[in-house]
Amino acid sequence: MILVIDIGNTNITVGIYNDQDLVSSFRLTTRVHRTSDEYGLLLIDYLTARHIDSKAVEDVIISSVVPKINYSFSSAIIKYFDINPLFVGPGVKSGIAIHVDSPKSLGVDRLVDAAGAYYTYGGPCLIIDFGTATTFDVINEKGVFLGGSITPGIGIVSNALSSMAAQLPEIEIMKPEHAIAKNTITAMQSGLVNGYIGQTEYLIQKIKEEYGSDMRVISTGGYGKMITRETDMIDIFDGDLTFKGLKIIYDKNKTNKEK
C-alpha cells in the first residue's frame, strides 16, 4: 500500500492506495506545533480504525505547502513506518512542463493537481481548487502548465467578514434560498456564496476568452462540490484529484526511488 499525503494550510489529507485503487482516505487538522510522535500516532490510529496494518504501507509520497511541518512530519514517517518519504519538489518528475516566470515558486499543490487533471482527463483543461485559497490553473493539450489566478478562499472571505466587522457574526457557509435576505446571517450567506459563484463564473469566462473555449473545467477542494453544483460552467468535480496527482507523480518516480 502507498500513502499519498497532501499537507495544506488548513488540513492534511491522506489517501491510501492499494495498487492503483484508492481504498480509503482521511484528514487531520494542520497544526505547526505537533511533534513527530503526535503525527505518527495519529496516522497509526487512523489506519487502525480503517483496519489497515501500518506494516502494509510500502511507501509514502508527500506534497506540502507548509514548510514548518515538513521536518516533524517526515520524522514521523521515518520513525513509525520505517520509510523515507518522497516529497514533491525540485528534481521530482511530474510529467508537467512548467511555463511560468519562476517555476520553482509554483506551489506543489497546484503542480500535483495539474498532474492529476491532465493524466486523468487530458488537456486542455482549467483546474479550480477551492481550498484555503482558490486557484485557477490552465494546462494545455501537451501537458504544459501555462499559469493561473489565485483568489482568497471562500473560508478566508467569511472569516474576514466576521473578524473585521464588529456586528457581523461567524456563519455557516451555505447557499440560501433567496438572493435577498431578511436577516443578517442569511444576507451574509447570500452575498458570500452567490458572490463567490459569480466570481468563479467570471474568471472561467475570462480564462476561456484568453485560452480557448474548448478546455474542460475541473474543480476540486473542500468547497468545490458546493460551488460546482451551483453552476453549469464547471464540467467535473473530483474530490480525489490531489490524491490522483500524487499517485501519478509517485509512479513516475518509483524507479528512481528504488535505486
d(CA 128, CA 125): 10
Catalytic residues: 109
d(CA 18, CA 247): 11
Helices (H), the chain: 36-49, 67-81, 108-121, 154-164, 184-189, 195-211, 224-228, 241-258
Three cell numbers, residue 189: 450567506
CA 69 to chain centre: 17
The amino acid that residue 225 corresponds to is K
Terminus-to-terminus CA distance in the chain, angstroms? 19
- Report yes or no: 230 and 175 within 8 Å, Cβ to Cβ: yes
d(CA 250, CA 188): 42
CA distances from 58 to 19, 37, 53 (A): 11, 20, 11
Instruction: List beta partners, residue 147.
Output: 138
